[in-house]
Chains A and B, each alone.
Chain A
């Protein structure tokens, strides 16, 4: 876990120089069209959060159901 975090930090530090060009395009996109893309991004995050929660619930429940079945 620590290795993964350290790797991500190092990578983003080095890559942020190359991302400067793409960042400008992202900035101008998000500010265009009355900034509606900001709203889309917000709602997208909410949806991902909801589906992520449902996903983890599914996995937990399936695991518990298998356990209880195996006990019988």
Chain B
């Protein structure tokens, strides 16, 4: 039972974010109404995704320097959870867009760019599945991981700001600060980013431990086969 301090912190923060996020007062804006509260759930999915994918890239670089099983496991599981957060971010964004912007998808540059970004990482998973040999798989995947990560800044942060976008902070729109006129939303938003990101990391560590056990089990089975024959 690896009950670390940051896991307990995750539980406390997320209960605070859910209960406080729903019940604490927020400044009300015309079209958004109560949906501004999505700031505590939709946006941290993206913050969490970028943070966890950054860790995935760091472990990819580490793997290239020192090819251990652990480095590769952290890299791939962090990429998995990053993709999960990205998918959740897109789906929750679509729901929010339908009832505030009028359609689930209207070709908003940030929506399109984030979809492309996710496709690039899904290709990473396809790449891993296509190679049989473990060490080759890990090396090629690590190299791809670094290039995939490099597409993040132009796709998610530069492109939407250059063209007409409805997202706050992009396409000439004022940043979200204008919706948080009394600064109270920061009280729940910052813990939300920390809480959701830590939750993602918790899932990464669990999956890494699980895969380590599976690999050890496979090794033991192989040893037994060799002994018997």
Binding site for B on A (CB under 8 A): 36, 39-40, 43-44, 47, 50-51, 54, 57-59, 61-62, 64-65, 68, 71
Contacts and interface: CB of A to CB of B under 8 A. Distances in A.
Contact of B18 (A43, A57, A58, A62): A43
Contact of A43 (B3, B22, B203, B213): B22
15 contacts: A40-B22, A43-B22, A44-B15, A47-B14, A54-B203, A54-B206, A57-B210, A58-B1, A59-B1, A61-B206, A61-B209, A61-B210, A62-B1, A68-B213, A71-B220
A51 B11 CA distance: 7
A19 B205 CA distance: 44
Contacts of A58: 1-3, 206
A69 B196 CA distance: 32
Interface of B: 1-3, 11, 14-15, 18-19, 22-23, 199, 202-203, 206, 209-210, 213, 216-217, 220
Given A57-B206, A61-B206, 16 more contacts: A40-B18, A40-B23, A44-B18, A44-B19, A47-B18, A50-B199, A54-B202, A54-B206, A58-B1, A58-B3, A61-B209, A61-B210, A61-B213, A68-B213, A68-B216, A71-B220
Main secondary structure of the interface of A (DSSP, over half): helix
A36 B23 contact: yes
Contacts of A59: 1
Contacts of A51: 11
Residue of A39, A50, A58, A62 contacting most chain B CB atoms (<10 Å): A58
